[in-house]
């Protein structure tokens, strides 16, 4: 059995503990419409979630997590503030050769409360920590909001900033773009040739000479991108000092208070960081007043970049000290932007986390 | 029991496979009438020839229903997850060459590379409210390729045939398909993206690691190897 009775007992215990703290119990269908998840996560979700076909409802997915259905439910008819708890199986494809399970129990806690984001972040983190208390775990925290703040403050075009922000979750592509925008890598050769051609002929003439316009993407769209390419080729590089700040953030691995200190230094060169850093300082204070030993927290500047791309602020994970190769025993973060995408115009600040109950049960069993 | 060699059951791929083996001293032939999918290997004990659709050969290799099989690298890599643990590449056969490529309309003068395709995907989604569609039947290979490069905001739509027509039919914006000469692409006013193709494929002789390699099959593999003048057991038989 992938999910054992021992796993279920631990999940039930965790859920009870969350309900005792006043969370509302919620549930979600196992079958979720694939379209929503594909639009959010892109094609990669097909390779992580099980897709099945229904002749009436179209493509369905075995729920890969609860966050999306819980957010949808809340956006449809939830009152603010709200605290939800749930427990149930989620389903993920795993790579050949890994020992990670294809179905496992998640127990989750989601907080929709915009009154004090720092306090809400700290609440979710400390609730998770309390539930995991007897185990020896290492906690890592990060903040995607700091990366976003850094990008927004770069002295460059909005287009370049948007391109970087879009690829925060794809580190290799992010690196390629940063090297190009920072002037370390030259513009692709074909672009220079194209822009040179544009100085002699109009976009319309170039398109017409190349071949018939076919399909949904029309000539105006092609011309608009040619404009963008011309602008980009003629854009000055992002100042080297600012590129270095971005790289320093990505390299940062320190205890949380030291990381904040270091980031404050970096903000001298990139003042757009200041509001995000004030947020981080408030969060550390709030964590402290929840009884979390912040001096022992590890801050990792890249944390959360390789997970599914909906966390856009605080992120955290708890790892077994003796078995660091395992998936995190618990993880979570802030996902304000997701509520906006799913809320059809409305948005609610939200933060949440999950515990892998089966992993916790196995670790407890090994104690 | 015997060593089962799976060979494509029709067309040029079958003929060239027969030629390839023939040039190496192994004579394959169809038995009975031309319509029957029965065949034999002349003069070799313990080897039987099975004629199969080229598309079925990867799965039969992976599950061990055949011991050796001839098919394209593209089909093996697309259809069999974790193929390296179940299938061994014995020899590339030098024919059936084809590349799996990404192609877009020639009129997209702003697109030459994957880098451009990614930027256009972002633009397309902003303008049209849905993800740029790439028509293909090679979902796994194309996804792995685009993922490695960090392309986002696209979707793969299934196309099992006449893929190059999907753009004009407005059911896709780009395609990923197998091409050997590029002729069909040109005829449809499409161009291949620059850079390495998604996959370079050719007809390849594969061996199954999961098949039942008993005494007879082992002896047959060694016999086959000695006729062909090469060791075929490497990576297949392990004692």
Q: What is the pLDDT of residues B91-134, one digit of tens each?
A: 999 999 999 999 999 999 999 999 999 999 999 999 999 999 99
Q: Which of B106, B110, B192 to mutate to test the interface with A (most CBs of A within 10 A)?
A: B110
Give me the pLDDT at residue B44, please.
80
Q: Which of B107, B139, B173 sits opposite A211 (nearest CB)?
A: B107
pLDDT class for A94, splitting at 50, 70, 90? confident
pLDDT tens for residues A120-157? 999 999 999 999 988 889 999 999 999 999 999 999 99
Cβ–Cβ gap B105/A214 under 8 Å: yes
Report d(CA B170, CA B185) in Å as an integer: 16
CA dist A269 → A33, A238, A276, B63 (Å):
46, 13, 15, 60
**Whose CA is closest to A77, among A341, A310, A334, A346?**
A346
**DSSP annotation of B194:** S
pLDDT tens for residues A152-192? 999 999 999 999 999 998 999 999 999 999 999 988 888 88
Specify whether the CB–CB gap between A339 and A115 falls below 8 A. Answer: no
**DSSP annotation of A332:** E
B114 contact residues in A (CB cutoff 8 A): none
Is A75 touching B (CB cutoff 8 A)?
Answer: no
pLDDT class for A109, splitting at 50, 70, 90? very high
pLDDT tens for residues A40-59? 888 888 888 999 989 999 99
Residue B224 has pLDDT above 70, yes or no: yes
pLDDT tens for residues B175-199? 999 998 889 999 999 999 999 999 9
Is B171 touching A (CB cutoff 8 A)?
Answer: no
pLDDT class for B36, splitting at 50, 70, 90? low
Q: Which of B107, B156, B168 sits opposite A210 (nearest CB)?
A: B107
A208 contact residues in B (CB cutoff 8 A): 107
pLDDT class for B39, splitting at 50, 70, 90? low
Here the tokens at position A159 are 């287009």
Give me the pLDDT at residue A306, please.
78
Residue A24 has pLDDT above 80, yes or no: yes
Nearest residue of A to residue B119, measured between CA atoms: A163
Specify whether the CB–CB gap between A301 and A289 falls below 8 A. Answer: no
pLDDT class for A341, splitting at 50, 70, 90? confident
Q: Which of B82, B124, B152 sits opposite A42 (nearest CB)?
A: B152
Residues 10-29 of B with CB under 8 A from A: none
Average pLDDT, chain B: 91
Residue B35 has pLDDT above 60, yes or no: no
Give me the pLDDT at residue B45, please.
80
Distance from CA of B65 to the nearest CA of A (A): 21
Longest dimension (CA), chain B: 66
Is A1 touching B (CB cutoff 8 A)?
Answer: no
Which burial class, exposed, middle or buried, applies to A324 when counting CB atoms under 10 A from its CB (0-12, 13-18, 19+)?
exposed
Q: Which of A172, A194, A221 sits opposite B150 (nearest CB)?
A: A172
B150 contact residues in A (CB cutoff 8 A): 167, 170, 172-174, 176
B77 contact residues in A (CB cutoff 8 A): none
The pLDDT of B164-184, averaged and rounded, is: 94
Give me the pLDDT at residue B68, please.
96
């Amino acid at each position: 059995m992938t999910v054992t009775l021992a796993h279920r007992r631990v999940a039930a215990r965790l859920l009870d503990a969350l309900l005792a703290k006043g969370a509302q119990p919620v549930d979600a269908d196992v079958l979720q419409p694939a379209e929503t998840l594909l639009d959010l996560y892109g094609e990669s979700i097909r390779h992580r979630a099980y897709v099945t076909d229904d002749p009436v409802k179209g493509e369905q997915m075995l729920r890969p997590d609860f966050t999306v259905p819980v957010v949808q439910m809340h956006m449809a008819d939830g009152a603010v503030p709200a605290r939800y708890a749930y427990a149930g199986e989620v389903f993920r494809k795993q790579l050949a050769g890994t020992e990670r399970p294809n179905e496992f129990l998640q127990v989750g806690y989601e907080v929709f409360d915009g009154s004090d984001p720092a306090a809400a972040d700290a609440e979710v983190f400390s609730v998770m920590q309390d539930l995991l208390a007897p185990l020896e775990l290492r906690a890592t925290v990060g903040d995607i909001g700091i990366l976003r703040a850094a990008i927004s403050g770069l002295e460059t075009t909005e287009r370049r900033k948007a391109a970087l922000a879009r690829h925060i979750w794809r580190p290799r592509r992010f690196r390629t773009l940063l090297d190009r925008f920072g002037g370390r890598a030259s513009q692709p050769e074909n672009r220079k040739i194209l822009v040179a051609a544009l100085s002699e002929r109009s976009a319309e003439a170039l398109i017409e000479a190349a071949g018939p316009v076919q399909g949904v993407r029309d000539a105006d769209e092609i011309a608009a991108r040619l404009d963008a390419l011309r602008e980009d080729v003629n854009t000055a590089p992002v100042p080297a000092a600012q590129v270095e700040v971005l790289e320093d953030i990505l390299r940062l691995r320190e205890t949380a208070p030291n990381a904040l200190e270091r980031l404050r230094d970096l903000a001298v060169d990139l003042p757009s960081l200041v509001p995000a850093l004030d947020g981080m300082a408030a969060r550390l204070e709030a964590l402290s007043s929840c009884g979390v030993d912040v001096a022992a927290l590890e801050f990792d500047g890249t944390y959360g970049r390789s997970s599914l791309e909906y966390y856009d602020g605080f992120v955290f994970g708890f790892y077994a000290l003796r078995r660091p190769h395992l998936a995190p025993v618990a993880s979570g973060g802030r996902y304000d932007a997701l509520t906006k995408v799913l809320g059809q115009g409305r948005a609610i600040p939200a933060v949440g986390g999950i515990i892998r109950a089966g992993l916790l049960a196995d670790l407890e069993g090994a104690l | 029991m015997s060593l089962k060699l799976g060979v494509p059951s029709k067309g040029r791929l079958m003929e060239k496979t027969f030629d390839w083996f023939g040039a190496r001293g192994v004579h394959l032939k169809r038995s009975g009438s031309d319509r029957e999918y029965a065949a034999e290997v002349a003069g070799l004990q313990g080897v039987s020839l099975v004629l199969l659709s080229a598309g079925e050969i990867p799965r039969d290799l992976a599950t061990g229903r055949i011991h050796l099989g001839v098919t394209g690298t593209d089909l093996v890599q697309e259809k069999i997850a974790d193929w390296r643990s179940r299938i061994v590449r014995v020899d590339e056969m030098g024919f059936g060459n084809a590349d799996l490529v990404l192609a877009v309309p020639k009129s997209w003068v702003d697109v030459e590379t994957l880098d451009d395709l990614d930027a256009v995907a972002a633009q397309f989604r902003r303008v049209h409210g849905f993800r740029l569609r790439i028509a293909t039947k090679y979902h796994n290979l194309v996804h792995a390729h685009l993922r490695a490069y960090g392309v986002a905001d696209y979707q793969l739509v299934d196309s099992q045939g006449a893929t190059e027509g999907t753009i004009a039919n407005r059911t896709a914006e780009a395609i990923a398909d197998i091409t050997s000469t590029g002729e069909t692409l040109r005829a449809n006013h499409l161009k291949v993206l620059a850079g390495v193709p998604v996959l370079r494929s050719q007809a390849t002789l594969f061996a199954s690691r999961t098949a039942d390699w008993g005494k007879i099959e082992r002896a047959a593999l060694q016999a086959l190897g000695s006729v062909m003048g090469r060791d075929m057991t490497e990576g297949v038989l392990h004692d």
